[in-house]
Structures are given as structure tokens and as C-alpha cells.
Amino acid sequence: MTQRTDILIVGGGLVGASLALALDAAGRSATLLEAAPARTNQAAGGDDNDRNLVLARASVNALKALQVWPHLDAAAGTIRRVEVSRAGEFGKLRMTAADAGVDALGRVVPGSVLGTALQRQLAACRRIERLAPAKLLALAPMESSWHARVAMAGEERNIEARLVVGADGSDSLVRAQLGIGAQEHDYGQSLFVCTVECGRDIPDCAFERFTDEGPVALLPLPNQRRGLVLTVSADRHDEVAGMDDAAFIALAQQRFGWKLGKLSRPGKRFVHRIRRVLAGAVIAPRAVLVGNAAQAVHPIGAQGFNLGLRDALTLAELIAGADDPGTANLLNEYASRRQPDRDGVLAFSHGLIALGCLPQPALAPLRSLAMLALGGIPPLRHAVARRGMGFRGEPPTAALDAGP
């Protein structure tokens, strides 16, 4: 028997779950497939050993509109100031919420807390059918729909959908099944993340420091803790992964410096190999890619989920008023609305690493001048801050600041 649905979302990660919530809020029904078992019962507040996500102001606005924010607020740090510097060079870029005319530039939440909050909110949605664990096996085109073969509870199911959304991450099967290629770039870096305590508190300030070996960031969290993100070159991966806490924290201290005093009490470490994956196209007939399936960017720019959430909200906004969610017109409009944001974020994230991390001494004065220029010219600084807050191109309505 074949089940029919209007919209099939493949992947219930952070972006797929956000899309399902946005569709439900827009009065549209959808089926959400997730390969991993459902998890909704994690204690609110997280376990302090998690990847910490910087949520741009636009994302916080959107999560408020989707009623997810109340589950996150208590676990979230606040960013009112960002300081970007380069080890051994003059010039610093400082951005403040006050300069940008807002109360906060963004917030920081543990990824697992965000995931749990999205799942809780999803459980209350009447128009979303959640199938988990359920794995997409293959897609076949029909005349005006897709036929999906799905493995669930030891059986195969058939689902026919007028629109298929690939929200299935950087190794997207949907992307492969649609015949869309992807460009990959290995940064040759590993990212170690954990939480730490700092001897000195500079409240509500996020620090990012570039070094020859890669960037290091410290993000504000509640209860005097900070999220540490430490990049090391791939050839040091095994050495750093094998370090005990004392050796690891000494490395972090040497890379970050003493601006926040002595670093101590590291939580459990998680490690990620970093690559950029860029889909050759974000749409195909009656299909669309969102989030990491469309583009996975270097995490140090803190843009991946923020960008994916704007993908999801824009798609939901376009589908809201459409009879048929998969027409070529709708999908073309989606692709053209998302392009400036996508191009801008890709250029920013890649450029940040290229300019910030290349060790060539010849680049040092240029970098320092760029930082000074950005930091010293208010309209430029303001423009950078607006983009950093997620207001680029034509943002979805739910992401905009509420009017006076």
C-alpha cells in the first residue's frame, strides 16, 4: 500500500524539525522521516558537555515565533559583544549590541537542548506525522510527485509526496537520489569542543581568536561557564584527542591567551573533522535541499544552523499560501530568494578561515588593517553586525525583529 502526503521531509535534525514546525504553524501538513530514534526526554538545561551553538538574533526571533524559545531561555548564554583578534597582530574587530541598536546580538545554546526543545514542540503539532526511526532508502520520480521507499520497524513502506525536502545532512541521500552533485573541501582541521570555567569574567562577550593553527573561540554560557571551540590541524588530531584534561587545557590556554584568566574544569570533549560540502543546486523538480544537505560550512563562523533555519522558514513561508507545494515557480522563487544569503554566508565562512588562519607573514598588515577598518568605521561595522545577526538578503518574516 502506498501512503500519500503533500510534503515529505527527509531528516528530522535541527533544520528538518524546524521546517516541520514552521509548516505546522502555517497550517500545512507534512510527513517527517528521521533515521534516529525519537528523543524528547533529555533534562532541560543540557548536560554542559555539548556542542554549543551560537544563534544569531534572526534565529532567536524565529525560535520565539515557533514557540520553541521558552524551552531554551534558561539554558542560553547572551552575546552582547563580539571580539575578533589575531594572535600576534594589532587590530581587533569589536561589535556591540549597543552599536547595532539591539539588546543582544545573539544567544548561545547547547545543541542537545535545542534538539530536545524542537522535538517537544513537534510532539504538540497536529499536522505533522513523525516517523522515527524511519530511513529513506530510495526515491523514484512519478509524473507529478516522488515515490519514496522507506525502511521502518523491519518493513518497507512506500510514500508518495508532491514535494520532497532533503534535510538529511551533509551526506544527503536525497541529494544523491536527485542526481545533484556536491563540491567538497577538506579544511584539514579538527574541532574540539567542550565547556570550561574562566578565572575572569567578561560578561556576555564572545571571543574569537585566530592563530596560524586555526581559530579558537570562547562563548558565553550561564553559570560562569563558557563554550570552548578549539581548532587544530588534522595532523595533530590524534595527539590532541589523546591528551588528558590538564594537557588539553594548557593547549587551549596557550592558544587563547589570558584575556579571560585561567581556564579550568573542562567538560567532556567532542571532536569534529571539518569539511565544506556544497550542493551544486538546491532545487530539482518537486524537490528541494535545506540545511547541511544544501551547504555545510566551517563551524567557526557559527552560521550553519542559522543559515539552515532561514532555508526552512523561507520554504515554509512560500508554501504557506500555495495550493501545490512543489511547483517549479515556487521552487525557483525559493532558490532565488535564498541565493544572496547562501552566497554571502559561504563567502564569509570560507573567507574568514582563509584570511584568519593563513600563516603567511605578508598577510599580517593587511589583516590588521582590515580589522582596524571594520572596527573603526561605524557604518561598515554596523553592516557586518547586521549580517552576523542573520539579516542578509530577504530574510523570512519570522526572523525579523518585532516592530516598535
Q: How far apart are alpha carbons 160 and 178 in whole angstroms?
A: 15
Closest CA to 195 of 108, 257, 254: 108
Nearer to ligand FAD, 91 or 159 (CB): 159
Quick check: bond before 285 cis, omega within 30? no
Site for ligand FAD in 294-323 (CB under 6 A): 299, 302-306, 308
Q: Which stretch binds ligand FAD (CB under 6 A): 6-14, 203-211, 261-269, 316-324?
A: 6-14
Q: How far apart are alpha carbons 192 and 177 in whole angstroms?
A: 33
Q: How far is the CB of 360 from ligand FAD (least distance, A)?
A: 26
Give me the 271-290 binding string for ligand FAD, x by CB under 6 A, dash otherwise. -x------------------
| Lookup: cell for 21 | 514546525
| Lookup: cell for 49 | 558537555
Nearer to ligand FAD, 60 or 173 (CB): 173
- Determine if 136 is a binding residue for ligand FAD (CB under 6 A): yes
- Determine if 263 is a binding residue for ligand FAD (CB under 6 A): no
Is the separation of the CB atoms in 392 and 340 below 8 Å? yes
- Determine if 35 is a binding residue for ligand FAD (CB under 6 A): yes
Residues near ligand FAD (CB under 6 A), total: 32
Q: How far apart are alpha carbons 208 and 227 in whole angstroms?
A: 12
Quick check: bond before 365 cis, omega within 30? no
Q: Which stretch binds ligand FAD (CB under 6 A): 12-20, 37-45, 237-245, 334-342?
A: 12-20
Nearer to ligand FAD, 13 or 388 (CB): 13
Q: How far is the CB of 389 from ligand FAD (least distance, A)?
A: 12
Q: How far apart are alpha carbons 125 and 123 in whole angstroms?
A: 6
Q: Within a 10 A sphere around the Cβ of 275, how many other Cβ atoms?
A: 15
Q: Which stretch binds ligand FAD (CB under 6 A): 33-41, 141-149, 366-374, 387-395?
A: 33-41
User: In degrees to the nearest 10, what's the CA dihedral of 4, 5, 7, 8?
Assistant: -60
Nearer to ligand FAD, 91 or 110 (CB): 110
Q: Which amino acid belongs to residue 328?
A: A
- Determine if 178 is a binding residue for ligand FAD (CB under 6 A): no
- The residues of the shown chain that bind ligand FAD, judged by CB under 6 A, are 10-16, 33-36, 51, 53-54, 135-136, 167-169, 173, 191, 193, 272, 291-292, 299, 302-306, 308
